[in-house]
Amino acid sequence: MAEVRLENVRKGYGEALAVDDLSLTIADGEFVALVGPSGCGKTTTLNMIAGLLELDGGEISIDGRRVNDLDPKDRDIAMVFQNYALYPNKSVRKNLAFPLQMRGMARGEIARRVDEAARMLDIGHLLERRPRELSGGQQQRVALGRALVREPKVFLMDEPLSNLDAKLRVQMRSELKRFHQDLKATIVYVTHDQLEAMTMADRMAVMHGGKLQQYDTPERVYAHPANAFVASFVGSPAMNLIPARLTETGIAGDGWQLALPPALLARARQAGSAGVLLGVRHGAIGLLPAATPGAVEARVLTVEPTGDITFLNLRLGESALVASAAPDRHFTPGQPLWLEFDMARLHLFDAASELAL
């Protein structure tokens, strides 16, 4: 297992930069998710680590060795593809054996490793089948097994769960996590699904427009998003972002104002922001039935019960926002509500740069 280091990595397609000056260190044994919307450069990054794409600039090293000019086969990596990329004309056994054969391993050792991987992934009974005779989940396991047998330094995974149905995806998610815990493997995992990244990764690298937005543990990314993009991308429903301006005592939007703690206010002042975005997650909003000092008035637009929690779409001045409440409370559309924000969980972003203040 090994550390993966990316330094100032750049890749363009024609005029557009797909990956723009990306620096990232994935520690030995760490599970890192590259996450972002489609076109953010995450798959391009993974393909460059794999050696399937050449870099336009920068350097990638694996286990301390510069790999820029190495063929994929010489990088000692394994990859799991979104469509599994199992060899359709080979049996499961031969699919698993292929990477070992390519490395000229002795027959006995190949058989031993294939059996071991098959046992570990519970696919022993499928070894003589062809990939097309397998279900999606089984194909997924075989793809994982093919990566596993070689005992590579790094596992690269490109949206490995996105072709599975929702139920299976949740199941495979925890299996992958256990797989990582058992193997202590270095894993670089690409996904567009922030929930997958949150639930599985040790650290997540949020990417947008080819640029790294934030690289931190899921908890910290969730609690302290570096900018408005991360704030809106991570977490579901997305963090509310409400445009406002700074006042003497706090912030104000159209038809509402809110006093802020002096420390937060001072930080915003120091940055010299003209306009700000108030960031607040649904869980940090208290819903009061009557006017209270410090609370701002909003109106209920729609009510969405989900069972465990009820989501409310509210209108605050000209802005829309989402709040949540316990399922036993009742609301009617059009009803006024007073919002009490948890000051410790408020975020301010500069309206121009979108950076956290």
**Total residues interacting with other proteins, rule: CB under 8 A:** 27
Instruction: Rank residues 36 and 160 by Cβ distance to other proteins and give the closer one.
Output: 160
Q: Does residue 117 interact with other proteins by CB under 8 A?
A: no
By CB under 8 A, tell whether 89 contacts other proteins. Answer: yes
Q: Would you say 50 or 284 has its CB closer to other proteins?
A: 50
Instruction: Please say which residue, 66 or 103, places its beta carbon nearer to other proteins.
Output: 103
The secondary structure of residue 356, as a DSSP letter, is B
- Least Cβ distance, residue 101 to other proteins (angstroms): 8
- Binders of other proteins among residues 232 to 251 (CB under 8 A) are none
The minimum distance between CB 257 and other proteins, in angstroms, equals 55
What DSSP assignment string belongs to 42-75?
A: HHHHHHHHHTSS--SEEEEEETTEE-TTS-GGGS
**Which of 1, 7, 27, 98 is the binder for other proteins (CB under 8 A)?**
98
Q: How far is CA 280 from CA 36, 214, 286, in A?
A: 21, 18, 11
Conformation bin of residue 240: beta by default, left when phi > 0, alpha when psi is -120 to 50: beta
Q: Torsion angle, CA of 113/116/122/125, rounded to 10 degrees?
A: 70
Sheet containing 347-350, strands listed edge to edge, beginning at the edge strand earlier in sequence: 256-259, 250-253, 240-246, 275-280, 347-350
Question: Minimal distance in Å, beta carbon 145 to other proteins?
Answer: 12
Whole-angstrom Cα distance, residue 343 to residue 92? 56
Residues numbered 146 to 175 that lie near other proteins (CB under 8 A) are 146, 150
Beta bridge partners of 155: 78, 187
Give me the helices (H) in 104-204, please. 107-121, 136-148, 166-183, 194-200
Residue pair 201/247 in contact (Cβ under 8 Å)? The answer is no
CB atoms within 10 A of CB 288: 13
What is the closest distance, in whole angstroms, from the C-beta atom of residue 320 to other proteins in the complex? Answer: 41
- Told to check if 52 binds other proteins by CB under 8 A, we report yes
In a 13 Å sphere around the CA of 109, the CA atoms on its Cβ side amount to 10
Q: Which range of residues in 77-85, 316-324, 331-339, 343-351 is near other proteins by CB under 8 A?
A: 77-85
Instruction: By CB under 8 A, name the one of 64, 88, 307, 334 that touches other proteins.
Output: 88
Binding segment (CB under 8 A) for other proteins, from list 46-54, 200-208, 300-308, 345-353: 46-54
- Min CB(79)–other proteins separation in Å: 5
The correct pick among 71, 165, 248, 328 for binding other proteins (CB under 8 A) is 71
> Quick one: which of 65, 66, 103, 329 contacts other proteins (CB under 8 A)?
103
**Does residue 86 interact with other proteins by CB under 8 A?**
yes
Distance CA 93, CA 100 (A): 11
Stretch that binds other proteins, among 15-23, 45-53, 57-65, 345-353 (CB under 8 A): 45-53
**Residue ranges of the alpha helices (H) in 191-304?**
194-200, 218-223, 228-233, 262-271
**Which range, of 57-65, 86-94, 218-226, 227-235, touches other proteins by CB under 8 A?**
86-94
Q: Decide: is 84 part of the binding site for other proteins (CB under 8 A).
A: yes
Pick the closer one to other proteins by CB: 10 or 90: 90
Q: Kindly state whether residue 178 participates in binding other proteins, applying the rule CB under 8 A.
A: no
Pairing of strands 154-158, 186-191: parallel
Considering beta carbons, is residue 146 or 281 the nearer one to other proteins? Answer: 146
The separation between the first and the last C-alpha atoms of the chain, rounded to the nearest angstrom, is 38
Footprint of other proteins (CB under 8 A): 50-52, 71-73, 75, 77-79, 81-89, 98-99, 102-103, 131-132, 146, 150
